[in-house]
Amino acid sequence: MAEKGGGGGEEVKVLKTWSSLFGLRVIWALKLKGIPYDSIDEDLANKSDLLLHYNPVHKKVPVLIHNGKPVCESLVILEYIDEAWSQNPPRLLPRDPVQRASARFWAKFADEKAFQSMRQALTNEGKEQEEGLASIAENLK
């Protein structure tokens, strides 16, 4: 299903699913910066030729397609949006290199640790679920 985002001279498309938090990140960044886009919802049980063509390595959403060129991996896409539309406020990453490094550190932490604990807690029962919940509490500290 395609959702029309608006006009503009540049062609921006996002391959995503309605439920993907990684995809939502990209949509929020585009909205924050006022960048018009079209979004195409993927069925991950039956991946489109478009997705397989533009993300042949991971075959995952989201994919940003800017004037026909694909950018994959949500955090990479966010940095790309910040650089390609640097004239559109707000900046997504701070200017200061130390603060930029810190933002990247926490983004990586969220993806690699926090998200995995949430998945463990939500998709298991019993001991595995309890371990996931304990890990979430630890991560939040």
Ligand X SMILES: N[C@@H](CCC(=O)N[C@@H](CS)C(=O)NCC(=O)O)C(=O)O
CB of 46 to ligand X, least distance (A): 11
CB of 126 to ligand X, least distance (A): 25
Number of residues that bind ligand X (CB under 6 A): 10
CB of 124 to ligand X, least distance (A): 18
- Binding to ligand X by CB under 6 A, coded x per residue (else -) over 45-84, reads --------------xxxx----------xxx---------
Q: Which is nearer to ligand X, 62 or 132 (CB)?
A: 62
3-class SS string, 13-82 = EEEECCCCHHHHHHHHHHHHCCCCCEEEECCCCCCCHHHHHHCCCCCCCCEEEECCEEEECHHHHHHHHH
What type of residue sits at position 92? L
Length of the chain: 141
Query: How many alpha carbons lie under 13 Å from residue 117 in its C-beta half-sphere?
Result: 15
CB of 25 to ligand X, least distance (A): 8
| Ranges within 17-46 binding ligand X (CB under 6 A) | 20, 22, 44
Residues binding ligand X (CB under 6 A): 20, 22, 44, 59-62, 73-75
